[in-house]
């Protein structure tokens, strides 16, 4: 399979090389792996960059399949921003296919925004029997808005290293972004305070940072192990846990299947709420702050019993 992927990218490059430059002259051409990173980078750099994102916000980031257009964009980019770790399993094959020497290795033109993040769930042993284990730790750290502040600072410092003449501009915008986010975090924490310790269920282990930030308790997951589809036995056991713990909410992402959560909800009365960690996943989430605001509002309503199933 890996050989086929590399062959596909090689063909894609040969098709795309003759295409004209897609971006306006005079601006740094930046490509980010996700719409969330692209949105934060845009707030920091403004019109000093031309920014685009690789992965669709409507798909599971783990399983995105880059296109020939993605190869071309990375090949012509000045800066590449990514979430690091092993969140984007397709990242290295894409970079190898694009052949942009700026991004091969640990050069300043490739900005890893995970630097400085305190990672959760770092495995002590590696075994396929444990499902899709992330070898460096849980990479879904963007769900904690305080981590988004670290991401913003990393982007500002990365861009400053590439364009020192605009360093003050990037850093000032990152500071302002983080101040706005600080104010929202205080508001979100205050609104969620009444739900401290509330038992919830998640579909996939992608909400660990979010639930830690807001003091929720995960009593079960629909996947028996990360990336492993639920069996009838597991669903039965999970239904027992939900009833025993009086869990009120299942958190799932928009792209995750609805059949199993609906079955569990029918048996237990638990509410289902679709949340997202991707700007543009829900249409109303135009930036990181509005994304998190929607998540908090939906969860607040679900935990207080104001809304039932949302899928």
Report the candidate in 43, 52, 288, 37 with the shortest Cα–Cα distance to residue 175. 43
Cβ count near 309 (within 10 Å):
16
CA dihedral 256→298→140→55, nearest 10 degrees, is: 60
How far apart are alpha carbons 149 and 146 in whole angstroms? Answer: 5
Mean pLDDT of 110-134: 82
pLDDT digits (tens, 9 = 90+) for 295-305: 999 999 999 98
The pLDDT, as a whole number, for residue 67 is 96
Tokens of 123: 């495995």
Report the candidate in 117, 113, 110 with the shortest Cα–Cα distance to residue 146. 117
Query: Band of the pLDDT at 132, cuts 50, 70, 90?
Result: low
Query: Band of the pLDDT at 133, cuts 50, 70, 90?
Result: confident
Tokens of 46: 């403004």
Mean pLDDT of 207-235: 95
The pLDDT, as a whole number, for residue 24 is 46
Does the pLDDT of residue 26 top 50, yes or no?
yes
- Between 133 and 179, name the one with better pLDDT: 179
3-state SS string for 94-157: HHHHHCCHHHCCCCCCEEECCCCCCCCCCCCCCCHHHCCCCCCCCCCHHHCHHHHHHHHHHHHH
The pLDDT, as a whole number, for residue 16 is 43
pLDDT digits (tens, 9 = 90+) for 227-279: 899 999 999 999 999 999 999 999 999 999 999 999 999 999 999 999 999 99
pLDDT digits (tens, 9 = 90+) for 77-92: 999 999 999 999 999 9
The pLDDT, as a whole number, for residue 14 is 45
Contact 203, 221 (CB under 8 A): yes
The pLDDT, as a whole number, for residue 195 is 97
- Between 6 and 117, name the one with better pLDDT: 117
pTM of this structure: 0.89
Tokens of 255: 């792209």
- Between 5 and 191, name the one with better pLDDT: 191
Contacts of 172 (CB under 8 A, 6+ apart): none
**Domains assigned to the chain:** 2-185 (3.40.50.1980), 196-303 (3.40.50.1980)
Query: Band of the pLDDT at 293, cuts 50, 70, 90?
Result: very high
C-alpha distance from residue 242 to each of 119, 145, 195, 217 (Å): 28, 28, 17, 12
Pairing of strands 49-53, 199-202: unpaired
Across the chain, mean pLDDT equals 90
Contact 261, 250 (CB under 8 A): yes
């Amino acid at each position: 399979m890996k050989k086929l992927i590399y062959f596909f990218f090689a063909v894609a490059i040969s098709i795309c090389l003759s295409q004209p430059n897609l971006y306006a002259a005079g601006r740094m051409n930046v490509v980010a792996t996700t719409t969330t990173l692209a949105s934060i980078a845009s707030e920091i750099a403004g019109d000093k960059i031309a920014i685009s994102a690789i992965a669709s916000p409507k798909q599971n980031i783990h399983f995105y399949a880059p296109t020939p257009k993605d190869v071309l964009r990375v090949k012509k980019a000045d800066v590449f921003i990514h979430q690091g770790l092993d969140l984007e399993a397709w990242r290295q094959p894409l970079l190898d296919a694009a052949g942009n020497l700026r991004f091969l290795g640990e050069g300043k033109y490739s900005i890893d925004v995970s630097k400085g993040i305190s990672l959760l769930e770092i495995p002590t042993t590696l075994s396929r029997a444990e499902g899709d284990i992330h070898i460096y730790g849980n990479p879904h750290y963007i769900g904690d808005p305080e981590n988004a502040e670290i991401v913003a600072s990393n982007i500002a410092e990365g861009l400053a290293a590439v364009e020192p003449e605009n360093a003050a501009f990037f850093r000032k915008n990152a500071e302002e972004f983080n101040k706005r986010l600080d104010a929202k975090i205080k508001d979100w924490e205050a609104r969620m305070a009444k739900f401290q310790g509330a038992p919830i269920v998640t579909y996939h282990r992608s909400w660990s940072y979010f639930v830690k930030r807001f003091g929720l308790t995960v009593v079960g997951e629909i996947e028996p192990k990360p990336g492993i589809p639920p069996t009838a036995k597991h669903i039965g056991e999970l239904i027992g846990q939900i009833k025993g713990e009086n869990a009120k909410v299942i958190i799932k992402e928009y792209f995750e299947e609805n059949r199993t959560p609906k079955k569990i909800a029918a048996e237990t009365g638990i509410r289902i709420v679709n949340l997202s960690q991707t700007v543009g996943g829900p249409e109303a989430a135009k930036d990181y702050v509005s994304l998190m605001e929607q998540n908090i509002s939906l969860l607040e309503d679900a935990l207080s019993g104001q809304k039932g199933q949302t899928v």
